[in-house]
């Protein structure tokens, strides 16, 4: 039988323990653990959720890696074509971790109405285009189908539709610039769907159309495209996969990851990691200090018991283990209530969207949450161990208690 655990259970199960002087302080300690784990869960879930949402929005418009011609300038318009006849297309078998490659092309244009006009980038996509991300963004109508004959159907953003007064089914004229001393080309499009990614920097720019229109406007051949977009399995491998992609493409092609292309955005979302680490550290310290206080009060309240145990031959470490078992129970109780409340709030936010955010600042309309068993277990185990280690030092006070004085302590 575990003697220390037996004594700890008797202390916890004692009715006088629950109504003792230390009871309010112990409850405060438990509450501190619970509040701490709630705050940490929310900080991690929202931080990771926001990072993933912003990252997915950028990936939707660019892929994880872009393969472009070295002759292409830094603008959003495809100018020098690339042949589709590449070893890596349509399947990039030479590099592990890649799940899809698609060919696209972009061209500047101006949408013209009777009362207004708006500059856009027409992104031409083909039958190989991955619509997975835009299915989530679609708010009205349907996604265009470019697997059959060339058509004039386009996908436009809510931002552009509102600015120009468009709705699903509307037709409009678009002007495409030509070479100098030549009149611009005029083309009619029909809106079949409206999307809203919440990322205004991209929504205000891109109009999704048939790739064959861009090829025709640029007088390219059917096998010529502007660039390739590569999608990978694990975002954490993006830098290593980008290097591998670069090594496995022709010398006239360049491979750029979205973390390089949108460096400012990805540096900004890294700030959330620092904030999360800071919150975790502060919460663990606060919870630990409260538990230290509760343990010290509990030790002082049980001074006579400590004296008796010492007189009966118990070592200092044996008695310390009794109180550490007791503290473990209190920490576990705090973690239980903290997880129950914290996860309840997170699931409520995930499915009910209770807390909105300003999309102009955070690129999302509601606070996103990412719930994973991995970080929940790691956070709970880490908090438990950290608090228990912090309690080892104050438990040393037991070794300073004299049995004679302790048994006469009142």
Domain endpoint, select from 219, 251, 283: 251
The series of mean pLDDT values per 10 residues for the chain, 410 residues long, is: 70 61 76 89 88 87 89 70 88 88 91 84 91 90 90 92 90 78 79 89 90 90 90 90 90 89 84 81 84 78 74 76 82 91 91 80 79 90 86 74 59
CA angle 243, 244, 246 (to 5 degrees): 65
Looking at the structure, tell me whether residues 322 and 241 fall in a common domain.
no
Looking at the structure, tell me whether residues 191 and 77 fall in a common domain.
yes
Tell me the pTM.
0.77
Pairwise CA distance, residues 120 & 161, whole Å: 12
- Asked if the structure places residue 135 within a domain, the reply is yes
Looking at the structure, tell me whether residues 103 and 213 fall in a common domain.
yes
Element (H, E) at 256: strand 253-257
Pairwise CA distance, residues 142 & 156, whole Å: 11
- Tell me what pLDDT residue 404 has: 59
Domain endpoint, select from 220, 251, 282: 251
- Tell me what pLDDT residue 13 has: 65
Looking at the structure, tell me whether residues 91 and 230 fall in a common domain.
yes
The sign one gets for the Cα dihedral 301, 302, 304, 306 is: negative
- Asked if the structure places residue 63 within a domain, the reply is no
- Tell me what pLDDT residue 64 has: 93
Q: What is the largest CA-CA distance in the chain?
A: 106
- Asked if the structure places residue 65 within a domain, the reply is no
Q: What's the structural domain count of the chain?
A: 2
CA angle 103, 104, 110 (to 5 degrees): 170
Q: Which residues contact 16 (CB under 8 A, 6 or more apart)?
A: none
Q: For every residue of 182-251, which 3-state class applies, written as one string?
A: CCCEEEEEEEEEEECCCCHHHHCCEEEEEHHHHHHHCCCCCCEECEEEEEECCHHHHHHHHHHHHHCCCC
- At residue 31, the 3 state secondary structure works out as helix
Domain endpoint, select from 251, 275, 293: 251
Looking at the structure, tell me whether residues 50 and 95 fall in a common domain.
no
Looking at the structure, tell me whether residues 26 and 129 fall in a common domain.
no
- Tell me what pLDDT residue 19 has: 58
Looking at the structure, tell me whether residues 202 and 125 fall in a common domain.
yes
Residue 307 belongs to domain spanning: 3-57+266-407
Looking at the structure, tell me whether residues 317 and 362 fall in a common domain.
yes
Pairwise CA distance, residues 85 & 155, whole Å: 28
Burial 6-37 (b: 16+ CB within 10 A, else e): ebbeebeeeeebeebebbebbeebbebbbbbb
Looking at the structure, tell me whether residues 208 and 85 fall in a common domain.
yes
Token couple for 103: 């060919």
- Asked if the structure places residue 259 within a domain, the reply is no
The sign one gets for the Cα dihedral 52, 75, 162, 174 is: negative
Burial of 122 (0-12, 13-18, 19+ CB in 10 A): buried
- Tell me what pLDDT residue 176 has: 86
């Amino acid at each position: 039988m575990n003697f220390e655990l037996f004594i700890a259970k008797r202390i916890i199960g004692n009715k006088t323990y629950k109504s003792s002087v230390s009871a309010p302080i112990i409850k405060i300690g438990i509450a501190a653990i619970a509040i701490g784990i709630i705050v940490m869960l929310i900080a991690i879930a929202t931080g990771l959720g926001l990072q993933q949402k912003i990252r997915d929005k950028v990936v939707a418009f660019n892929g994880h890696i872009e393969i472009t011609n070295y002759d292409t300038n830094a603008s959003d318009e495809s100018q020098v074509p690339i042949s589709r006849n590449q070893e890596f297309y349509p399947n990039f078998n030479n590099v592990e971790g890649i799940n899809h490659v698609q060919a696209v092309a972009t061209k500047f244009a101006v949408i013209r109405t009777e009362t207004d006009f708006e500059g856009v980038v027409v992104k031409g996509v083909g039958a190989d285009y991955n619509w997975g991300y835009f299915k989530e963004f679609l708010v009205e109508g349907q996604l265009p189908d470019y697997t059959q004959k060339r058509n004039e159907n386009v996908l436009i953003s809510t931002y552009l539709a509102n600015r120009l007064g468009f709705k699903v089914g509307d037709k409009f004229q678009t002007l495409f610039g030509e070479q100098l001393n030549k009149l611009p080309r005029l083309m009619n499009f029909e809106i079949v769907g409206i999307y809203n990614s919440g990322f205004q920097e991209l929504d205000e720019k891109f109009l999704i159309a048939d790739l064959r229109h861009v090829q025709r406007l640029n007088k390219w051949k059917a096998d010529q495209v502007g660039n390739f977009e590569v999608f990978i399995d694990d975002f954490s491998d993006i830098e290593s996969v980008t290097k591998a992609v670069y090594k496995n493409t022709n010398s006239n092609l360049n491979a750029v990851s979205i973390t390089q292309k949108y460096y400012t955005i990805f540096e900004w979302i890294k700030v959330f990691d620092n904030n999360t680490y800071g919150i975790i550290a502060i919460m663990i310290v606060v919870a630990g200090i409260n538990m230290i206080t509760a343990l010290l009060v509990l030790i002082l309240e049980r001074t006579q018991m400590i004296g008796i145990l010492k007189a009966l031959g118990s070592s200092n470490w044996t008695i310390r283990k009794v109180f550490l078992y007791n503290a473990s129970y209190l920490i576990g109780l705090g973690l239980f209530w903290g997880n129950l409340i914290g996860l309840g709030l997170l699931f409520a936010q995930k499915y009910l969207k209770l807390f909105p955010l300003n999309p102009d600042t955070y690129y999302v309309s509601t606070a996103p949450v990412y719930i994973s068993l991995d970080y929940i277990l790691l956070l709970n185990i880490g908090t438990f161990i950290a608090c228990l280690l912090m309690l080892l030092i104050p438990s040393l006070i037991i070794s300073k208690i004299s049995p004679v004085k302790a048994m006469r302590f009142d």
